[in-house]
Every structure is written in C-alpha cells, then in structure tokens.
Amino acid sequence: MNETEARAHIRLWIAELRDPAHSQGQGQLVSPMEPDQPGAVARAFCCLGLACETAIKAGLALEFVTWGYRCIDGVGPLYTVTTTLPLTVVEWLLGPARGTTPDSDAEEYPLAQVFCNGGAVATLTAIDANDSLTWTFEEIAQVLEWQLNGQAEPPEHLNVWAHEGIRTAGYGAGDLSKMSVERPFDLGSDPE
C-alpha cells in the first residue's frame, strides 16, 4: 500500500465519522447500547472502532467479535483487540511502515504533537480525543482533515488542547509563542 491509498482510507474513515447513523461511545472500540426496540442490535463506537468498521466495509480481513475486532486473514494475530487499533488496521490507515510492529502510539492513532522550545511536550491520540476530551466525531474528523490537507492552522479545538498541554507541562505564557502543533507523520500530499 502506498501513501495515496492510505490517504483514501483515512478519507473513508472521515466519511464514516460524519455519518449521523453512528453513535459515539467511550472506553472500548465498540460497545452494546440499549436497543430502541426489542430484538434490535445497536452499538456505540469509539472513533477507532469506527475505523475498524470502515476497514471491514472496504474489505479488510477483520471481524467484529464481542467488544472488539480480530484478524481473520490467517496472517494477523487472532487475539481480539478491544481498546486500540489492531495492527492490520494501523497498516491499512498509515501504510506498512507504521503497522508492522507494535507501537502504542500507532495503535492509538496519533492526531497531533505539541512542541515547545524545540522539544516534544505532548502527543494527542485518537483515544485521548474520543475518551478523555470527549471530542465529537466531527471534531476528530476535522483534525484528520488537517492531517491530510496540510493546512497551516490546526482546528481551534486542537489549538485549545495544545495550549493546555503547554501549561500542564509547566511552561509559562511567554512560551506559547515558541509552541508549534505538528502532524505526527507525513502522508504526503494529494496528487495534482
């Protein structure tokens, strides 16, 4: 898989995040919800669970099992993943270079990094955005678009998080001018 394919996969994920048919949940990739009607099956997704569902719709050999997902291609691990991305989905989203070895940042899907005075201060993962910050699917989709489109200015809610990260790390107000919010990886640019 190349960068163009990875970018297309992330765009599919963004479209699923924006689909109002999906309910958002926290704490695990997918969780059962109280069905509206007897016999109805309803699930709530973390944004990463929705990435797994997107990958399945696109043909990735992955299956939903109670509370999570597992590979069914005979290549990936057969254990069920319930709180982070299966490595096959990391590879599907970011390319083989990021998905071939366990990497907690990749499995939590990094959205942005904050630097101050040249040093890394914090990394925001999709798990943080979904579970701790309780960002909506739309807010997460906006950050994914910022990653893909190369806009200079990140979305406002990402800037707010970055400023809070600088303060939490013990930097003062004067350090904010030395702060930068950056993409954690480069997926290239869209072909012209």
Q: pLDDT tens digit string along 110-132?
A: 888 888 777 777 888 888 899 99
Tell whether the model's pLDDT for residue 168 goes beyond 80: no
pLDDT of residue 104: 53
Q: What is the pTM of this model?
A: 0.83
Give the sign of the dihedral formed by CA 21, CA 22, CA 24, CA 30: positive
Range among 64-78, 112-126, 133-147, 175-189 with highest mean pLDDT value: 133-147
Domain boundaries of the chain, sorted by first residue = 3-107, 110-182
Would you tell me how many other CB atoms lie within 10 Å of the CB of residue 72? 15
User: Residues 89-108: what's their mean pLDDT?
Assistant: 66
3-state secondary structure of 98: helix
Cα radius of gyration rounded to whole Å, the chain: 17
Q: Which two tokens stand for residue 136?
A: 């909506």
CA distance 11 to 13: 5
Average model confidence (pLDDT) across the chain: 77
pLDDT at 137 over 80: yes
CA atoms of 186 and 192, how far apart (whole Å): 17
pLDDT at 61 over 50: yes
Report how far residue 58's alpha carbon sits from residue 151's, in angstroms, rounded to the nearest whole number. Answer: 27
Strand bridging mode 23-24 / 43-45: parallel
**Collapsing DSSP states into helix, strand and coil, what is residue 68?**
strand
Whether the pLDDT of residue 192 is over 50: the answer is no
Q: What percent of the chain has pLDDT over 90?
A: 20
What is residue 84's three-state secondary structure?
coil
Is pLDDT above 90 for 11? yes
Closest Cα partner for 128 from 103, 147, 105? Answer: 105
* Crossing angle for the helix pair 87-94 and 47-57, to the nearest 10 degrees: 80
Q: Is the pLDDT of residue 26 over 70?
A: yes
Give whole-number Cα distances, 2 to 94, 95, 123, 149, in Å. 9, 6, 25, 17
CB neighbours of residue 171 within 10 Å: 18
